[in-house]
Amino acid sequence: MPSPKNAMEIFQYLDKSNCRECGHKTCLAFAGAVFTGQRKISDCPKLPKHIIRRFSVKEAGNIIEQNRDEYLADLKKEISRIDLAEAAKRIEARFADNKLTLKVLGKDFSVDTNGQLYTDIHVNPWVAVPFLNYVLHGKGLPVSGNWKSFRELTEGKARYPLFQKRCEAVIKRVADTYTELFDDMVHLFNGRKVAEQFESDISVVLHPLPRLPLMVCYWLPEDGLDSSLNLFFDETADRNLDIGSIFSLGAGLAQMLTKLAQRHGYTPDP
Ligand code: SF4
């Protein structure tokens, strides 16, 4: 079987019972995670082995790159089928003129009842996908103030190696070379420097989504040890957003910060 062209091609083979045994709330969400390379089709225990064998799913990173735009189109269609005003109440977003609006990194980000996106910032698919999943499935739980690493979140452990490679390692390389990075996070992305956490040298809290704060902690090189950088999430994060979307937010942030540094003439070490 050739690689699927969109999440719906995977969805058609699933049980469609939304039983949640795979850790996703719906079979469609699971199909999206398979399509973007964050889950394997074999992670659905209800799928017959002959179907699993027919899928030739490629390595995760390639699929993410190739298919994210198609997945975004599927999510937009899903938005057009829900009651957006009710969704706005659930996640405490604004709703006016048929548009749901909330803040992404301090800037207004909206979607209308047809799934059309509006924002003052460049629409990065890495951010648009989590935004739409937050609108579709977010519980709107209040932030607890207790931080967890990505690997401590539900389903985070298995995905952490890829998260470390695509998010934390990338942002660390930027931070190592672009010294204004943390000031830019504050001024451009409405971040907030907080007292050093986990004995880090710099800690900045960002809000890629209103109830999904993300804390970047950076440790400077010391005594022959290399610098290090980790991202932390509120302990409610995995209930306010699916783990694939949390992954995507981290990857999107890494991409945005890399471009920002490059615009200022800095070239992060490979
Ligand atoms: S385990 Fe399979 S059938 Fe159950 S929700 Fe996940 S994808 Fe759907």
The binding-site residues of ligand 1, defined as CB within 6 angstroms of any ligand atom, are 14-15, 17-22, 24, 27, 30, 44-46
- Please tell me the residue having the least CA distance from ligand 1 atom 3: 15
Rounded to the nearest 5 degrees, what angle is found at the Cα of 99, between the Cα atoms of 93 and 102?
A: 30
The three-state secondary structure class of 206 is: strand
Least confident of 60-64, 80-84, 128-132: 60-64
**pLDDT tens-digit series, residues 146-174:** 999 999 999 888 888 888 988 999 999 98
pLDDT at residue 191 greater than cutoff 80: yes
pTM: 0.72
Q: How many angstroms is it from 34 CA to the middle of ligand 1?
A: 12
CA distance 128 to 142: 22
User: Which tokens belong to 58?
Assistant: 């490629």
Nearest atom, ligand 1, residue 18 CA: 5
Encode 228-264 in three state secondary structure: EEEEEEECCHHHHCCHHHHHHHHHHHHHHHHHHHHHC
pLDDT exceeds cutoff 80 at 43: yes
